[in-house]
Structure 1
Amino acid sequence: MSQDLLIGVDVGTGSARAGLFDKAGKLLSRHEVPISMRRSDAHHAEHDSEEIWSTVCQAVRAILNHAKADPAAVVGIAFDATCSLVVRDADGVPVTVSPDGNARWDTIVWLDHRAIAEAEECTRTGHRVLSSIGGVMSPEMEVPKLMWLKRHLPQSWSRAKQIFDLADFLSWKATGSNQRSLCTLATKWTYQSGDGAGWQHDFFEQIGLEDIVDRTSIPPHPTPVGGDLGPLTSKAATELGLTTKCHVGAGVVDAYSGALATLGPLTSTPLDLNRHCALIAGTSSCVMTMAPDRAPTPGVWGPHHGTILGGYWQMEGGQSASGALLDHIVRWHAAGGDPTAERHRDIIDRVQQLRAIEGSNLAKRLHVVPDFHGNRSPLANPNALGVISGLTLDSDFDSLCRLYWRTCVGIALGIRHILDAINTGPYAIDTIHVIGGHTKNPLLMELYAEATGCTVIEPNTPDATLLGMAMAAANAAGLYDGLAQATIAMHQGDTAHTPHRKDEIAFSRDYDIFLKMLAHRAELDAYA
């Protein structure tokens, strides 16, 4: 086993994963542990941060054991996580975020939409911070969640002394450092990067968060992605099964790790960056771009400077529910059941059989707008609703397969809608780098090429998100001359899939219908 080993940790919505890498970026071992999520209603979702840390430690120990690696050989570790909000008191004790006061649940999950009213209030301010989030505040960001916490759980707010983005919480558990990542603070907390403006305290005063620094302990200046936060504490090293020689790199919101791994190597030819985006697709979907110049797009989060790599501007669009929507369709349909991986495979296999028989005519009168959990981009409307047109009384397995297929089409058309919005600026995206759970769904992988007309690139590494954090860990450990060099040196190559375009006319028709359904939905909402 080589020296200079690195660990990347990714905490998603339903699990924590860890990967062990060598200095060249080769994945040596990987392990995943599920985490709990409490859903008290459609808008509330909560995690237990102590459970998350425990699962992270379990995953890290498992990869070391599986690879028979010497813990002393691990020189760097970095954490990414969903943009969930962790609340602690002055002593680091969890503080409840639950209306019922259950002490276990101290973390508001990223997909939680309890703060829709507060997000709308932020948007109405018209403050300059909105220019870096597409003009509209999302309830998935941290500021409206903080407002909700202060207004609805004043006892929790009065106890709070440390509030973290989940990735920063993990770094704090590992090092004891209160430093926060530039990625988390700029993308989810309204820190203004790139122009030297920093925190906009007049905005916080305007929305009633004048005490935000006291309650959250946010620092005046964040740490660049992959910056060295210091070595593991003795306690954390013991819990993770590592040593205090291991340094911790400043992490990112989860999608940004995948973007780092896929877009970072392209900085060797920066003039081509405007043709590429990363699509990090699992429970939800994130469309990430990176460019040397600032190019804002209404309804798309950003531009943020340095939140993937220093010297570059980044934007993020996405869908709040994509993989989660397919799970919902399976549960919802009479012939569905539990949306296990096996159930999805059975459905996909039958869809392929039906397509072989019916071709592009398969369920061609069935259309789905996939905004079942709002529209993150490019409409930036958390109140948007999903739409299905073309249902019948059929309730057998084949009717489920037809609906599943057309939901996949709707998801892909939603990505096309986002790209069309981004491409009105200096971008000319014709290449999509897809990572995440959707790479295991052949329907979606085909549709991302065929429905958008883009070349789809699939990384050769088994887990690009974990690799992105290994790159950040390598930077913290000083193994390369900067993070950009780490991304180039550790890149594992990729495989391209060009669209066949044999059903181009059918997908163009579908997209026209998709846009008309958005317009009709807006008309109905106006009547309501």
Structure 2
Amino acid sequence: MNDRLVMAVDVGTGSARAGLFDLGGSLLARAEAPILMNRPDADHAEHQSEDIWKAVTLAVRAARETAGVAPEAVGALAFDATCSLVVRDGEGAPLSVNREGAPGWDTIVWLDHRAMAEADACTATGHRVLDFSGRVMSPEMEMPKLMWLKRHLPAQWAKAGLIFDLVDFLSWRATGSNSRSRCALTAKWNYLSHTENGWQADFLAMIGLDDLMARAGLPREVQAVGAPIGPLTAAAAEDLGLTTHCTVATGLIDAYAGALGVLGRYAAEPAKLERRLAMIAGTSSCLVAFSQTPKPLFGMWGPYYEAGFPGCWLIEGGQSVGGALLDHLVRSHSVGGVPDAETHGRVIRRIQELRAREGASLGARLNILPDFHGNRSPLADPHALGVISGLSLDSSFDGLCRLYWRACVAIALGIRHVLQAMIDGGYEVDTLHLTGGHVRNPLLTELYGDVTGCPLIIPETPDAVLLGTAMVAAVGGGFHADLGAAGLAMAPPERLRLPNLALKPDYDRDFGKFLAMQRHRAELDRL
């Protein structure tokens, strides 16, 4: 057989990435194409799903052509994506989600916070679905966004006939099938996959979405991660530069693809799996843990049954901004400029020089709460705001570097806060597995281990998110029996970094200040 390669597609916030893999997990080629985003308001963010599909086709074609293989060599494909919401009419045509009706913008981006009031209304129901969402509904989930659409754009809602999580839209565009991912619906649509009837009709009625099944075209049954959906349609095969013999597998949320990529080798060993935390860190940061039994926690998303590995419960904590906060600080500072890789590199190099000279005193009186886009975990407060204490009149480049360094410390302290909440809630995690854009930031990779006191393992693969999705594709294509087998066969080598325990007193003191600042912020909000 000559169809023994798999294509993985990862659609993030700003681009679509495609990777071509062999069945041993080696990345043969990778390509990327940008996607558009419209920000008509501070809390509104929109994509065009047709633009996303175009970016996917460009990336897939470029990856295959770079590898120099024939279209027939690609036997299976899978998608992962952010939890963005795609709205189409009954004929499958785009419906604008823009408040002013601007055409083409049919997708609400995952980070959009327009539905804050609707999220609060969901939380106020006290429904049992909230036991599997940290007991607080986030505006980044789909139900609040759907409520907002029905309340604020009723004419568009009346026309809707197909509403997708982005990963399911991509599968639909590729195969024509309305199949839905168990991962996406369980994690983002309050579908209780551990129950006989996953959709909770009484909850939908309580939040005014009793017509959701018809408006979104939702099926009663959902598909497990890696289940085959079907072959590419002729049109999709033409767009992607592949063939109709290529099987599309049921996809998953992007962060969970990263979790599969870094923890896949442990899928068949539950005792080892439960001691490891996958950390997918980029624009935002997600911490994913697995367990054999459900362990609900306040402020954590989940536990979700079979949102990743079969038979396992998945729980997620995280930060709504991580890398995005560092970009914001650079962009908003008088000497910062464009927050591209070159600028970040220049800042990081100068910080290392200042640390060598000043040691632990560098920016020591600067203390930051990094909740500039709310606190996802463990406080579950989408209304939370960031705080910077200790600012002076210093507007120099070194002043920016001090602020950037202490923001990195604050991001790591936030991760420690999430980790501590998980441990207090019965998760016996003691090792971090890091992937995502933050592996390219030496400050953050150092801090994640030193601040938490945990060993840090970094997979030696260019893109663990794509690798996790490649594992899914290999299962859907029938090349590996299940995700456990795919994880063992395709897992990359790993690099271990042990924490510097000599720094523990400094970071313990910083963590105490971090918690004190949270208390003081709450006090100010109550006044």
Q: Does structure 1 residue 376 correspond to structure 2 residue 376? A: yes
Deviations along 1:53-79, one digit per CA (max 9) or x if unpaired, are 000000000011111111101010000
* Rounded Cα–Cα distance in structure 2 between residues aligned with 1:332 and 1:64: 39
Give the match's secondary structure for 1:473.
helix
8 Å CA contact 1:48–1:105 kept in 2: the answer is: yes
* Rounded Cα–Cα distance in structure 2 between residues aligned with 1:371 and 1:364: 19
Give the match's secondary structure for 1:268.
coil
Aligned residue in 2 for 1:434: 434
Deviations along 1:280-307, one digit per CA (max 9) or x if unpaired, are 0110000001111111111100001100
- The 5-angstrom pairing of residues 123-522 of structure 1 reads 123-522=123-522
* Rounded Cα–Cα distance in structure 2 between residues aligned with 1:306 and 1:243: 30
Amino acid in structure 2 at the alignment position of 1:4: R
Give the match's secondary structure for 1:96.
coil
Deviations along 1:214-267, one digit per CA (max 9) or x if unpaired, are 100111011000110000000000000000110001111110100111122212
User: What is the root-mean-square deviation in Å for CA atoms of aligned residues?
Assistant: 1.0
Aligned residue in 2 for 1:87: 87
* Rounded Cα–Cα distance in structure 1 between residues aligned with 2:174 and 2:273: 34
* Rounded Cα–Cα distance in structure 2 between residues aligned with 1:492 and 1:38: 37
Q: CA deviation at 1:2?
A: 6.6
* Rounded Cα–Cα distance in structure 2 between residues aligned with 1:277 and 1:72: 37
8 Å CA contact 2:2–2:72 kept in 1: the answer is: no
Deviations along 1:455-510, one digit per CA (max 9) or x if unpaired, are 11101111110011111110111011112211111111211111012211110000
Amino acid in structure 1 at the alignment position of 2:487: T
Unaligned runs of 5+ in 1: none
* Rounded Cα–Cα distance in structure 1 between residues aligned with 2:194 and 2:154: 34
Q: CA deviation at 1:3?
A: 4.3
What is the aligned residue count?
A: 527
Q: CA deviation at 1:127?
A: 0.2
8 Å CA contact 1:14–1:36 kept in 2: the answer is: yes
Give the match's secondary structure for 2:510.
helix
* Rounded Cα–Cα distance in structure 1 between residues aligned with 2:441 and 2:344: 9
8 Å CA contact 1:76–1:477 kept in 2: the answer is: yes
Unaligned runs of 5+ in 2: none
Give the match's secondary structure for 1:451.
helix
Structure 1 residue ranges (4+ consecutive) displaced by more than 3 angstroms after TM superposition: none
Amino acid in structure 2 at the alignment position of 1:118: E
Amino acid in structure 1 at the alignment position of 2:328: H
More off after superposition, 186-195 vs 164-173: 186-195
Aligned residue in 2 for 1:69: 69
* Rounded Cα–Cα distance in structure 2 between residues aligned with 1:319 and 1:526: 23
Amino acid in structure 1 at the alignment position of 2:271: L
* Rounded Cα–Cα distance in structure 1 between residues aligned with 2:132 and 2:107: 25
* Rounded Cα–Cα distance in structure 1 between residues aligned with 2:127 and 2:427: 26
* Rounded Cα–Cα distance in structure 2 between residues aligned with 1:165 and 1:452: 34
* Rounded Cα–Cα distance in structure 1 between residues aligned with 2:118 and 2:268: 42
TM-score normalised according to structure 2 size = 0.99
Give the match's secondary structure for 2:329.
helix
More off after superposition, 40-49 vs 487-496: 487-496
8 Å CA contact 2:48–2:106 kept in 1: the answer is: yes
Deviations along 1:334-356, one digit per CA (max 9) or x if unpaired, are 11111010000000000000000
Give the match's secondary structure for 2:378.
coil
Aligned residue in 2 for 1:48: 48
Give the match's secondary structure for 2:225.
coil
8 Å CA contact 1:274–1:426 kept in 2: the answer is: no
* Rounded Cα–Cα distance in structure 2 between residues aligned with 1:178 and 1:474: 21
* Rounded Cα–Cα distance in structure 1 between residues aligned with 2:57 and 2:230: 18
* Rounded Cα–Cα distance in structure 1 between residues aligned with 2:298 and 2:263: 22
Deviations along 1:137-160, one digit per CA (max 9) or x if unpaired, are 000000000000000001110111
Amino acid in structure 1 at the alignment position of 2:315: M
Q: CA deviation at 1:81?
A: 0.6
Deviations along 1:119-172, one digit per CA (max 9) or x if unpaired, are 000000000000000100000000000000000001110111000000000000
Identical amino acids, percent of aligned pairs: 57
Q: Does structure 1 residue 29 correspond to structure 2 residue 32? A: no
* Rounded Cα–Cα distance in structure 1 between residues aligned with 2:310 and 2:195: 13
* Rounded Cα–Cα distance in structure 2 between residues aligned with 1:356 and 1:396: 19
